[in-house]
Amino acid sequence: MKDFLETIAKMLVDNQDAVKVSEEETDEGIYLRLTVADDEVGKVIGKDGKISKAIRTIIRAGAKNLGKQVYIDID
């Protein structure tokens, strides 16, 4: 999941070196924290949050095979 989220984010931004994803697994699920350059957060969130919703949908669909809940925070 971490690598997949990182790949998606890098495709959306210009400064690919600033993309970082950290992962923490707990009993509740998998927590992913996506960090991008300050001036490119809007590219990852999108208008009205549409891009971030789509990213969350794709990641959660992939996580169903793992039987885990996935939570994504965008910084």
Number of domains in the chain: 1
Q: Which two tokens stand for residue 23?
A: 């992962």
Would you say 9 and 71 are in contact if contact means Cβ atoms under 8 Å apart? Answer: no
Whole-number pLDDT of residue 63: 87
pLDDT class for 1, splitting at 50, 70, 90?
confident
* 5-59 residue pLDDT tens: 999 999 999 999 999 999 999 988 999 999 999 999 999 999 999 999 999 999 9
How far, in Å, CA of 43 to CA of 51, rounded?
Answer: 8
Residue 18 sits in a domain whose CATH number is: 3.30.300.20
pLDDT class for 64, splitting at 50, 70, 90?
confident
**Domain of 19?**
2-74
Backbone angles phi and psi of 12, in degrees to 5? -90, -25
